[in-house]
Amino acid sequence: MPAQPGSGASQSSAPSHHSVLQKIPTGHPRIFFRPGDFERLRDSLDRSPFRECFASLRERALRTLETPVPKVKLPADFYLPDGEPWDRRYPRSEAGVRSARAVERTRPDSVVHLNSLLYRLTGEGRCLEHVRTALRVLAGLDLEATGYANTHSFNGVISTLAIGLDYLWDELEPGERRQATTALALRTREFHRLANPLADPFNNHSITYGPTNLVQAALALFGQEPEAERWLSDVVAFFERIWPQFGGDDGGWGNALGY
């Protein structure tokens, strides 16, 4: 709970916009890790607790190499220009739920998250190639069908593209990097318009997906995409001025029973 006036708790001010921007490294990585972190972590992988975490990461990542990167398969009715927004039609039937889940399982997000990190820690070439293929699949998605205006199922592609770019910026070929950065910028621009937590702070979707996606996209593209600073600034302002707006009685639930 926020400190109440007169409670005696020390007051601290939120970081300024300028100070946040000053902390962003000029090079990559910037998401969860900073330049030099991978090298320092690599020297600790044989010691607990890193050893156990790394063993789990390695096992899961290498398991993804056993099969080709999946191609995303969309149902014929996935995009309906005159239909309802998002994917509301799918939960109305058991078949619809199965269809929506099947679409989500074809997204190669885990390939990018697991293998990009394992590559940076071990230099395993197979991991790099798997991530490059997955990034091409995700960057090639039809934005009209898979954008946030049509479905919630693909909002996570923003953070996946961001992490893949951030961790492998120097390893990607210029054409690959250009395809991924263009796709990420277009997808995030649409997402920011529809899910900016600062613009709609009482929308539980915006405050759930919004900050994570916008911050990670902004960090991946900072210095490359002019709008990245705006995406980051809006999230900083949201946390400074508004969050947490779901306060109230202890034990209360902001989403309420209607959700």
- 251 within a domain of the structure (yes/no): no
Residue of 16 and 220 predicted with greater confidence: 220
What is the rounded CA–CA span in Å between residue 122 and residue 129?
14
Q: Does some domain include residue 235?
A: yes
The model's pLDDT over 141-185, given as tens digits with 9 standing for 90+, comes to: 999 999 999 998 899 999 999 999 999 999 999 999 999 999 999
Token pair for 259: 């959700």
User: Would you place residue 255 in the very low, low, confident or very high pLDDT band (cuts 50, 70, 90)?
Assistant: low
Section 27-36 average pLDDT:
96
Handedness of CA 210, 180, 17, 19 (dihedral sign): positive
Q: Quick one: average pLDDT of 33-59? A: 95
User: Which ranges of the chain does DSSP label H, i.e. alpha helix?
Assistant: 17-22, 37-42, 50-64, 94-105, 109-122, 125-139, 143-146, 157-168, 174-195, 204-221, 228-241
Range of the domain at 117: 20-241
Average pLDDT over residues 104-132: 95
pLDDT of residue 7: 39
Higher pLDDT, residue 253 or 180: 180
Domain membership of residue 13 (yes or no) is no
Q: Look at residue 8 and tell me whether its pLDDT is greater than 80.
A: no
Q: What is the mean pLDDT of residues 132-143?
A: 97
Give the pLDDT of residue 3. Answer: 41
Q: What is the pTM of this model?
A: 0.88
Residue 100 has a pLDDT of: 82
Model confidence at 251, pLDDT cuts 50, 70, 90, reads: low
Q: What is d(CA 158, CA 150) in angstroms, rounded to the nearest whole number?
A: 15
Calculate mean pLDDT across residues 35-46: 94
Q: Report percent pLDDT > 90 for the chain.
A: 63
pLDDT at residue 252, rounded to an integer: 60
Supply the mean pLDDT for the chain: 88
Q: What is the pLDDT of residue 9?
A: 38
Residue 247 forms part of a structural domain? no
Q: What is the rounded CA–CA span in Å between residue 168 and residue 131?
A: 9
User: Does residue 5 surpass a pLDDT of 50?
Assistant: no
- State the Cα–Cα distance between residues 208 and 186, nearest whole angstrom: 20
Residue 7 domain flag: no
| pLDDT above 70 as % of the chain | 88
pLDDT of residue 186: 98
CB burial readout 126-138, b (16+ within 10 A) else e: ebbebbbbbbbbb
pLDDT band at 4 (very low <50, low <70, confident <90, very high): very low
- CATH number, position 61: 1.50.10.100
User: String of b and e for 59-90 (b: at least 16 CB within 10 Å)?
Assistant: eebbebbeeebeebebeeebbeeeeeeebeeb
Number of domain units in the chain: 1
Kindly state whether residue 250 falls inside one of the protein's structural domains: no
**Residue 90 forms part of a structural domain:** yes
